[in-house]
Structure 1
Amino acid sequence: MTGFISWALALLIVMEVIRTYLVISRQVPANGFTPDNATLSPFMQRFARAHANCIEGLPIFGGLIGVSIMISKTEVTDPLAYTLLGARIVQSMIHLVSTNRLGVSLRFSAFAVQMAIGAYWSRMLLT
């Protein structure tokens, strides 16, 4: 979970460094930003979406890991935790660098891995 949170934080820090540069260089006024970066470049819009994807997944995966700790079933979540984190990082990186058909397909594949892990964890924690 620390890796997942750290990844979301890293994306946020980099996005805010870029935004700070845009303000200091007078390319964008300090009040010229929207949460989705809609007024900025397509890259910055993808950056905002990659960060939002992390935040959207955090309660789901964090919740499942929290439940596994509370009911002493970390043997369910531990083996796939790094795979989940790797898939999240891959999804974010592809989101940042590619919008072509292959990139979108690969990004979805990384997302599907996360959903499969989450579904597996849910099933195993409920039984």
Structure 2
Amino acid sequence: MSASAYALTGFISWGLALLILMEVIRTYLVISGKVAANGFTPDNAAHSPFMQRLARAHANCIEGLPIFGGLLGVAIITGKTDITTPLAYTLLVARLVQSTIHLVSTSELAVSLRFTAFAVQMAIGAYWSLILLI
């Protein structure tokens, strides 16, 4: 597999890992009787700040998948991974960093660092989009 394919798989797997973590916690809350099975909203608004950040970090992954994953997919399908491979792992690491910071803190510094990680992804995506179109 190419670095682009590994990065795409990693991006998808990270979103899945966040989803599994959220569902394990939700299952525990239901089984322990702390929350009714129908007591959850997509944003976990009625639950702990961590659960809210987890829901948002997962949503960020899902929101980014069609864009960043789509560009990786186009490169893979069209045989143009020479465009995406040099920055594929950088994109994945930036996503992991963004999500991890999101889970850990909402301090001003953390939000700035999280945005920086997202800005790296946007810059890579814009670059890939331009080069793939040329």
TM-score by length of 2: 0.92
Provide Cα deviations, 1:31-52, integer angstroms capped at 9, x if missing partner. 0000110111111000000000
For CA contacts below 8 A with separation 6 or more, give which structure has more relative contact order.
Answer: 2
Residues in 1 aligned to 2:107 and 2:77: alpha-carbon distance in whole angstroms: 42
For the pair 1:19 / 2:6, whether they are aligned, the reply is no
Name the structure 1 match of 2:74: 67
Name the structure 2 match of 1:44: 51
Name the structure 2 match of 1:125: 132
Residues in 1 aligned to 2:60 and 2:90: alpha-carbon distance in whole angstroms: 17
Residues in 1 aligned to 2:33 and 2:77: alpha-carbon distance in whole angstroms: 50
For the pair 1:56 / 2:56, whether they are aligned, the reply is no
Amino acid at match of 2:67: I
Name the structure 2 match of 1:104: 111
Root mean square deviation of aligned Cα: 0.7
Q: Which runs of 5+ in 2 are unaligned?
A: 1-7
Give the aligned length: 127
Name the structure 2 match of 1:90: 97
Q: Which runs of 5+ in 1 are unaligned?
A: none
TM-score by length of 1: 0.97
Amino acid at match of 1:40: H
Residues in 2 aligned to 1:69 and 1:5: alpha-carbon distance in whole angstroms: 15
Segment of structure 1 superposing worse, 62-71 or 115-124: 62-71
Amino acid at match of 1:89: L
Structure 1 residue 59 displacement after superposition = 0.6
Identity rate, percent: 79
Amino acid at match of 1:44: M
Provide Cα deviations, 1:79-103, integer angstroms capped at 9, x if missing partner. 1111100000000000011111000
Structure 1 residue 72 displacement after superposition = 2.0
Provide Cα deviations, 1:89-127, integer angstroms capped at 9, x if missing partner. 000000011111000000000000000000010011011
Residues in 2 aligned to 1:25 and 1:72: alpha-carbon distance in whole angstroms: 50
Amino acid at match of 2:120: V
